[in-house]
Chains A and B, each alone.
Chain A
């Protein structure tokens, strides 16, 4: 299988998991086998306590990628450059391989809902977001790695499918993508869409990272709860992405009912069956 390089030659970091405080002590005492860790950026900003103490140690031994939840790229509030400064400083401190957030907005009029709200998929919405992503990337002096969120509603104003909006955003803003295949599954279930068609629309030369996670299926809709194992249908979507890319940094998210670290290791290693014998990994 050939590797489709991403536009920035960012490395395939291998298989990683989200760094959570429940595992700080075990990681720093045993230094378990794990290719890399992803951090929630905001958990290490505006604090000088225990989380940063452990992160400094972990960043000495493992590659780190920063993934935020409050950049609010789609918001109509002014860009928060003070927050960008904090992201930049943290990125430098942990020598982050890249940093990113979500294709969403999290608040407006100075408030923050601490959730990933969908934008209307319109030409105007696209222009707004492309413009902001370009400004943020210029300021951060690196590509922003943006993730497709799980969404639970569709705006009547939307004039294009989500995957087209994301593809055009990536190309027109020249930003990187974090393709969350669980979110693709959840979103497509919630909007009665075909996840394979969704994946086929993604410009893979912009994809630098893939997310895997569990979700909750409520029958009428799915919620992206990150509280369990990855279901088979999502693994099948991951296989398709791997076929298209030949290898991307892959990360398992598990944020509720967090199990022992060994369970995370076992779960993320399942991705090896799609990766073994595939592309040669670019050195981290």
Chain B
């Protein structure tokens, strides 16, 4: 085989098809894409890759095939430690391998490799509380990765909040920290993660709707649950609603005394201010 021009391209495409095959280099050699590119290699791999004294041609290709999945699995294990704990190491590895085979990296950095992994789990895992929890935890762990790399924005100070007079509520919109994600979950996934990280072995919980935010303050990533109305209000603000409209839409319909409402809002905004959720007004 010559390696010039198109032939070099063919050789690279062939090797890639072989070493990225989820069942290893031997299966990769016999795969349709590899046979289409270099037909003779399926029956005579030595015509393309020489054996060494100790290894056959296929064994040498298999080193790369093994490293491809091992390296990317290592990345995903670091990104999804609690998802892995729920599914178990073997099932998690199988899921990652299938995911990588269907979603090979197209980026020069690894940060976005598993961006679609929670959705993949949601489509591919069977129903059941354990898997449902795993999907929710994966969504939180993915959000933690996303905000880790997100651009930095200075949070609003308490004084800036205080300066928003009641007369401005009908006009002002709040800018949300780009390093914030809002997650509507089917399970108490945050509590479960806290328990695991605290060294406990919690049972798989029953379904219960929870509302979580994942955010970065400075250079540290945090996650916490929100009350349902609090989450609804924050979602409306993050969607760009005017402050007064967002408040009315999320909690205004409930019969509640003005004092209680003000106390609730005050507590929520203090919490969000401490978390650096807002970065300014517009």
Contacts and interface: CB of A to CB of B under 8 A. Distances in A.
A152 B60 contact: yes
B55 A220 contact: yes
A113 interface: yes
Query: How many of chain B's residues touch chain A, expressed as a range?
Result: 35 or more
Contacts of A112: 104-108
Nearest to A111: B104
Contacts of A110: 106
Contact of B2 (A46, A119, A157): A157
Interface residues of A, number: 47
Contacts of A49: 148-150, 152, 216, 219
Interface stretch (B15-23, B189-197, B251-259): B15-23
B111 interface: yes
B5 interface: yes
A128 interface: yes
Given A112-B106, A157-B3, A221-B55, A50 B11 contact: no
A156 B16 contact: no
B37 to A, nearest CB: 11
B230 to A, nearest CB: 26
A47 B50 CA distance: 41
Nearest to A120: B3
B61 A50 contact: no
B89 interface: no
B43 interface: no
Nearest to A152: B63
Contacts of B269: none
Contacts of B59: 220
A108 B16 contact: yes
Given A114-B71, A153-B63, A105 B152 contact: no
Contact of A157 (B1, B46, B67): B1
A125 interface: yes
Contacts of A108: 9, 12-13, 16
B89 to A, nearest CB: 18
Nearest to A69: B108
Contact of B61 (A113, A124, A153, A220): A153
Which of A115, A155, A221 has the largest count of B CB atoms less than 10 A from its CB? A115
Given A74-B12, A124-B5, A128-B5, 9 more contacts: A43-B109, A47-B111, A109-B13, A117-B19, A122-B2, A122-B4, A128-B4, A152-B60, A223-B63
Which 8 residue pairs are nearest across A and B when measured between Cβ atoms?
A124-B4, A220-B54, A76-B9, A50-B219, A153-B60, A70-B108, A47-B149, A120-B3
Interface of B: 1-5, 7-9, 11-13, 15-16, 19-20, 46-50, 52-55, 57, 59-61, 63-64, 67-68, 71-72, 104-112, 148-152, 216, 219-220
